[in-house]
Amino acid sequence: EAQVTQNPRYLITVTGKKLTVTCSQNMNHEYMSWYRQDPGLGLRQIYYSMNVEVTDKGDVPEGYKVSRKEKRNFPLILESPSPNQTSLYFCASSPLVTRSEQFFGPGTRLTVL
């Protein structure tokens, strides 16, 4: 089954404790992206990648890191999480030519205490 998977689905952590949210897709898509969803603000793009070893900032990249060492994986790293990073996070992927027609993962709900 074609899908985007994220792990973990739920995470409660404390301020300053480094964490990684993994994202993997099995559709051989070039384009992958991370978003955060907050009430009243919709989805805001954090980082995106148009291919292996190519990453670019979205609208809200501060406090996040990403890497794209393999085509299928695009982990989101929070080196020192803070409470304002409590949010619902989505990973998405698409073929590069239709990069706006994205397939979304199920989401990761992160709480930073």
| β-pairing verdict for 19-25 and 42-51 | unpaired
- The smaller minimum CB distance to another protein, of residues 36 and 85, is found at 36
Sign of CA dihedral 80, 85, 87, 90: negative
Closest by CA position to 70, among listed 35, 34, 108, 32? 32
**79 belongs to the binding site for another protein (CB under 8 A):** no
Q: Which of 64, 102, 110, 112 binds another protein (CB under 8 A)?
A: 102
CB of 50 to another protein, least distance (A): 5
Report helix, strand or coil for 96.
Answer: helix
- The smaller minimum CB distance to another protein, of residues 4 and 21, is found at 4
Residues that bind another protein (CB under 8 A): 4, 31, 33, 35, 40-45, 48-50, 56, 58-59, 90, 92, 98-107
